[in-house]
Chains A and B, each alone.
Chain A
Amino acid sequence: MVTVEEIEHVSKLMKIDVDDHSEYLEKVQTMISYFDILDSAGVESEEISMPEIPIEELRHDEHIPFGEKLIEKMNHYKGTYVRAPKM
């Protein structure tokens, strides 16, 4: 069961400003509770298979000029730097 405290914690980790965490509690709890069905899938011994792409099939690791100064499309930049708030 998900608690309001857990939702507060995850929201903070995900950097989402949520005014009222309890507003999300019921639906998130319902969704997570539904995921409990995975417990009865009997897949504990299953191996996770992932597609593999041989490195030689990837494009060459080389710079491809974009043709435009992308930084100029940012709202806040100075020279070649993006401006960000202080950390």
Chain B
Amino acid sequence: MMNLKISALEFVEEAKNGNVSVEEFIGKTLERINDVDDKLHAFLSINDKAIDQARDIDKRIKSGEKVGACFGMPISIKDNMCIKDSKTTCASKMLENFVAPYDATVISKLKKQDAIFIGKVNMDEFAMGLSTEFSAFGPSKNPWNIEHVPGGSSGGSAVSVSSYECIASLGSDTGGSVRNPASFCSTVGYKPTYGLISRYGLISYANSIEQIGPLTRTVKDTAFMLNLIAGIDPNDSTTVNNNNEDYLVNIDSGIEGKKIGIITEMVGDGIDPEVMTATKEAISKLEGLGAICEEVSLEMVKYSVAAYYTITATEAGSNLARYDNLRYGYDLPVEGYEFNSYISKARKNFGPEVTRRMIIGGFVPSAGHAGKYFLKAMKVKSKLTKEINEAFKKFDLLIAPTVPILPFKIGEKIDDPVSLFLVDINTVTANLTGKPAISIPFKIVNGLPIGIQLLANSMNDKLLLQAAYALEQTVTLPEVPI
């Protein structure tokens, strides 16, 4: 029986040495998807050339030809990243038939390393949500308990990794959209320093804060993926030069003597007691490894969710203007419509959450309201950045639970937008300030996962991964029951 539960690094080693047939592994992965995805709905489309691609890689391995670092590893891709000649729907009816004419930079980098994109995975429509309930193609389910949400917006990514439908996935994180589902599904989820990974070919939602990030089974796998996809890109002027940092080297350095700040505002009111207990246990384990943990206050965290939604709705209002039925959208005949009504008709097919955010995105930056909402939100963002920069003068890392609550039931919060907003309270800070953050699977309580989040200063991604690896080594978790 082929073991689909292996890590990325284990797979690479086995495939490289010829102990695993890539074709067989991909075949078994497709069987697994066939067996479980009716229940989970992680995938929106499957790569029908995956077996052929695997066969080709097997041939090259056998003949001693050069093979890329992924050796045919099956990776799922959130359906907001362009893969040339493949559908990229953003889980929206608007892009239901959109076939990308080019590869995102992360895709071309992984293609060069012989990754196999096993399929595109579900998400909240245009990444607007944190439960994957706002996908136009139906919600994904949490493999730990299918009555519960898997988190979002990269819900399909987390589900596919945790239920062994692939080895790793790429998601995007605008306010926690990688870390939140990683926490809810018990996978590692990484949001890098802003600019570390190119966004070229990622369908834009809120450019100023979003980043692509990997979801994997282990911290080492995240470091491996980061090695492959990070770095400067002429097609994305916000990318930063990481000098080809190798994030795997010295990942086991440990955290002895490191100072870790416990963010007071993220462990207070509204936190589930089980999540609080898990957080205290994580802190205790880090102290046991030689870290020094103390509380630190970031006062602006209280306002961060309001600032986040104001800024993202504004950017979304601008970004989604391109869905005008001409460049993107439906195939409506142009005859018989006036220009504005033609565009409006297309946009009528946005889902309700996207429509709401478009309305808000038109309202909060408008004349008469910008001073009260958008400008204040930008000022909160600036002050929060100052606060966290001050904190990093004293601390090497910060810690908080990734999400203050356990995965909730599907439908439980869908009619309560503010209650949904507040699920993001611990994750948006990293986005608003551009800092790297990671969610590490830590505990299963009543059959539901809890993740612990660590944050580091900008460009200290390597230190962050070292700390995450140290914490990960203290934990043994049960297997997903599906």
Which residues on A are within 8 Å of B, measured CB to CB?
2, 6-7, 10-11, 13-18, 24, 27-28, 30-32, 34-35, 37-41, 43-44, 46-49, 51, 53, 57-59, 66, 68, 70, 73-76, 82-87
Chain A positions within 8 Å of B237 at CB level:
53, 57-59
Option from A28, A31, A47, A84 in Cβ contact (under 8 Å) with B339: A84
Asked if residues A48 and B375 are in contact (CB atoms below 8 Å), the reply is yes
* Measured CA separation A32–B361 after assembly (Å): 11
Does B478 interact with chain A (Cβ within 8 Å)?
A: no
Residue of A nearest to B357 (CB): A31
Contacts of A47 in B (CB 8 A): 379, 382
- How many angstroms from the CA of A70 to the CA of B327 in the assembled complex? 10
Q: Please indicate the chain B residues that have their CB under 8 angstroms from the CB of A51 in the complex.
A: 238, 434
A32 in contact with B348 (CB, 8 Å): no
B137 within 8 A of A: no
Cβ-based interface call for B378 (8 A): yes
User: Chain B, interface size: which category?
Assistant: 35 or more
User: Cβ of A16 and Cβ of B344 under 8 Å apart?
Assistant: yes
B361 and A14 within 8 A (CB): yes
Given contacts A40-B303, A86-B339, could you give 19 more A-B pairs where the C-beta distance is less than 8 Å?
Answer: A11-B359, A17-B341, A18-B348, A18-B355, A27-B415, A27-B417, A35-B306, A38-B307, A38-B310, A39-B376, A43-B380, A48-B381, A48-B382, A73-B101, A76-B333, A82-B326, A85-B334, A85-B338, A87-B338
Q: Which residue of B lies closest to A46 (CB)?
A: B379
When the two chains form their complex, are residues A31 and B309 in contact, meaning their CB atoms are under 8 A apart?
yes
DSSP class of B's interface residues: helix, strand, loop or mixed? helix
Q: Which of B317, B326, B340, B344 contacts A76 (CB 8 A)?
A: B326
Query: What is the minimal beta-carbon distance from A68 to any residue of chain B, in angstroms?
Result: 7
* Bound CA–CA A44/B376 (angstroms): 7
> Distance (Å) between the CB of B431 and the closest chain A CB?
14
A48–B326 alpha-carbon span in the complex (Å): 36
Query: Nearest chain B CB to A47's CB is how many angstroms away?
Result: 7
Any chain A CB within 8 A of the CB of B373?
yes
Residues in chain B near residue A16, CB distance under 8 A: 344, 347-348, 350, 355, 358-359
Whether a CB of chain A sits under 8 angstroms from the CB of B343 is: yes
Alpha-carbon distance between A82 and B326 when the two chains are bound, in angstroms: 8
Contacts of A32 in B (CB 8 A): 360, 363-364, 373
In the bound complex, how far is the Cα of B362 from the Cα of A6, in angstroms? 10
Interface centre among A13, A37, A43 (most CB of B within 10 A): A43
Q: Across the interface, which residues of B come within 8 angstroms of A17, CB to CB? A: 341, 344-345, 347-348
Within 8 A of A (CB), among B428-451: 434
B342 in the interface, Cβ–Cβ < 8 Å? yes
Given contacts A68-B101, A82-B326, A84-B334, contact A48 B379 (CB under 8 A): yes
- A38 with B418: CB separation less than 8 A: no
Instruction: Pick the most buried of B302, B379, B385, B434: most chain A CB atoms within 10 A of its CB.
Output: B379
Bound-complex Cα distance A76 to B415 (A) = 39
Give complex CA distance A53, B241 in Å. 13
